[in-house]
Chain A
């Protein structure tokens, strides 16, 4: 396949690599973290919502986006409420005169109610909106990225743990069925009362069922070669361990250095960076021992690169605004409508590009529907396995 053809096929309907969506969303969140300007934050939310609506699939996780919007509302509300209840007195424009509740001595320095100023509440609102925007950006990533694909692109050092999570996700629906079945069966023994026995008579059979299953699963995995590409040489193990331990020591020192502003700066940022890099080296080395391959690996094509780049670009452009920062952080000392500068606005608007630069999502997540897919072989052909196999199998093979 020529490069041209491949770049064209990469825009056919399919799921984008989940990591690309995450990079994009984190970029948007980073941009949001740099500003408290409500207009700008509003634009970020609008951009994110637009992309989600344009590119989300019908899968269950895609529907969770609405919950994140509610969560954002709650955060903003909470933050404002906090300012009202616990001292919002600073500032000259007093909105409300509430009686201040006297507190005992141990709570010294803490105000309950009292005067509420517009500056204070507005500050709470700006700040809350910023956090809410960041949360909504993360919600967008959750809605757009397919968690199962995310799991499949786990680094190989986490091969075992990743497998455990994969197992958990596939056992999960069976558990629900198991609970229903057992719950129904309880009545056959005349269990109507609730309480200790009742709880036990549901939990224990379900648990036993699940544990039996785990043993069968383990034997099936063992005989299918799980853990086969296994053990590293003692020497490489030692190297891995050294990297990890040194890295973690570095991280510990680095964190301390960062927290304690009085230590030499070399112990803060640089130390932290070195520590993290060392630890990651160890992590990558630990993954070397795993020599397994991946079926239909998710590769990065042009749309993935474009999406990730937009995210990084937005973060860099908003973060790179220097000089007059009033456009990003509106003043709270004088109450005026915050201004919106062209620079940051355009930077944030770049984030909407993935709505057009990515392939549309594939049909609803294929594992979850109960009916066979209507596409491909017609229902009649399913009776004749041989012919349907070649009829529906071939074109797909040629297309991808």
Chain B
């Protein structure tokens, strides 16, 4: 983002081009394409247990696939991140990213002990809303990554968590811009609830086969994943699994946390973030003009 200070556009003195808060990380057309493709691939990786259709000859493949997928998701994430920062990231956006990631990482362990209280998401949603979709996506990744580094929680689950929370941040940035005031808070609360369940659902989905076991012969647990079974059958099994294990407890807890947090401090945090975004004035370009016609000899 080099300053386009061509001599042609002489700026009027008091109206310099002014940045927009929701463009803290610019998403160009190409970045959007990369982001979209990676999201489709990522979604497939999350939902693989539902889609596996195994030809009899390649049963072995259906079983190996999950481990291959574990290796692919990180690649997707780094590619998207590289693309989003490819044009060089504004130092203000980057510093904001760092600070908000630290806040998210600090909020996360707050809820770790108490069942269901998961505090990462509300700041992510609010920040995505204020700073835009691109920023939300990157913030989702960096928050979870920083948190994993701080708590020594790096593992194959990390890319999945990063991807899911990146979508959450991005989605918050894509919500309709025009909604303001009470309606905005209501919209964000609704989004927070949906996202809480969706996050739990996705995280369960990819991990489900690992939890209940899958390829041990001589066992047909009724909750277990069956590779190659019809989509509906697996979906039903999964639905019961997720309902029993997490929807009632963790996911609802997460949804309640989001709701309460956004209702209580949402307006104040939004105002604070917007103020910061105004002050940082992303994408602002300072302008230069030639010296006024006055002899420059006086001291």
Contact = CB atoms under 8 A, between A and B. Distances in A.
Task: Give chain A's interface residue range (CB within 8 Å of chain B).
Answer: 35 or more
B83 A286 contact: yes
B103 A165 contact: no
Top 10 nearest A-B pairs (CB, nearest first) are A167-B98, A261-B55, A64-B152, A168-B101, A248-B37, A160-B85, A218-B95, A157-B82, A61-B152, A171-B102
A33 B64 CA distance: 10
A120 B217 CA distance: 10
Q: Which of A79, A196, A210, A261 has the most CB of B within 10 A?
A: A261
A189 B79 CA distance: 50
Interface in B185-236: 210-213, 216-223, 228, 233, 236
Contacts of B78: 155, 157-158, 283
Contact of B58 (A64, A123, A135, A265): A265
B142 A165 contact: yes
Contacts of A372: none
A168 B99 contact: yes
Interface string A89-123: 01100000000000000010111000000011001
A90 B98 contact: no
B99 A272 contact: no
Given A87-B222, A200-B265, A272-B68, A142 B85 contact: no
A231 interface: yes
Between B75, B79, B216, B276, the greatest number of chain A beta carbons within 10 A of the residue's beta carbon is seen for B79
Contacts of A199: 264-265
Interface in B140-174: 141-143, 145-146, 149-156
A352 B80 CA distance: 37
Interface string A204-228: 1001101101110111011000110
Nearest to A75: B211
Interface residues on B, range: 35 or more
A154 to B, nearest CB: 9
A4 to B, nearest CB: 36
Contacts of B264: 196, 199-200
B101 to A, nearest CB: 4
B91 interface: yes
Interface string B100-136: 1111011000000000000000000000000000000
Nearest to A231: B88
Interface stretch (B11-19, B46-54, B247-255, B288-296): B46-54
Contact of B279 (A159, A215, A240): A215
A251 B95 contact: no
B27 to A, nearest CB: 13
Interface in A115-167: 119-120, 123-124, 126-128, 131, 135, 138-139, 141-143, 147-148, 150-151, 155, 157-161, 163-167
B86 interface: yes
Interface stretch (A274-282, A294-302, A382-390): A274-282
A200 B263 CA distance: 11
A261 B61 CA distance: 8
Contacts of A167: 94-95, 97-99, 101-102
A203 B54 CA distance: 52
A214 B87 contact: no
Interface of B: 2, 30, 33-34, 37-38, 40-41, 44-45, 48, 51-55, 57-58, 61-62, 65, 67-69, 72, 75-76, 78-79, 81-83, 85-92, 94-103, 105-106, 138, 141-143, 145-146, 149-156, 210-213, 216-223, 228, 233, 236-237, 240, 264-265, 268-269, 272-273, 276, 279-280
11 contacts: A147-B154, A168-B97, A168-B98, A168-B99, A179-B106, A210-B99, A214-B96, A218-B95, A251-B37, A261-B55, A283-B75
Nearest to A62: B152
Given A142-B153, A261-B58, A279 B98 contact: no
Contacts of A148: 149
Interface of A: 33, 36, 60-61, 64, 67, 78-79, 82-83, 86-88, 90-91, 107, 109-111, 119-120, 123-124, 126-128, 131, 135, 138-139, 141-143, 147-148, 150-151, 155, 157-161, 163-169, 171-172, 175-176, 179, 196, 199-200, 203-204, 207-208, 210-211, 213-215, 217-219, 221-222, 226-227, 230-231, 237, 240-241, 244-245, 247-249, 251-252, 255-256, 258-262, 265, 268-269, 272, 276, 279-280, 282-283, 286-287, 289, 332-333
A255 B79 CA distance: 16
Given A90-B220, A161-B142, A175-B103, A279 B75 contact: yes
B106 A215 contact: no
A226 B233 CA distance: 54
A132 to B, nearest CB: 11
Which of B2, B95, B223 is the most central at the interface, judged by chain A CB atoms within 10 Å of its CB? B95
B221 A86 contact: yes
Contacts of B221: 82-83, 86-88, 120
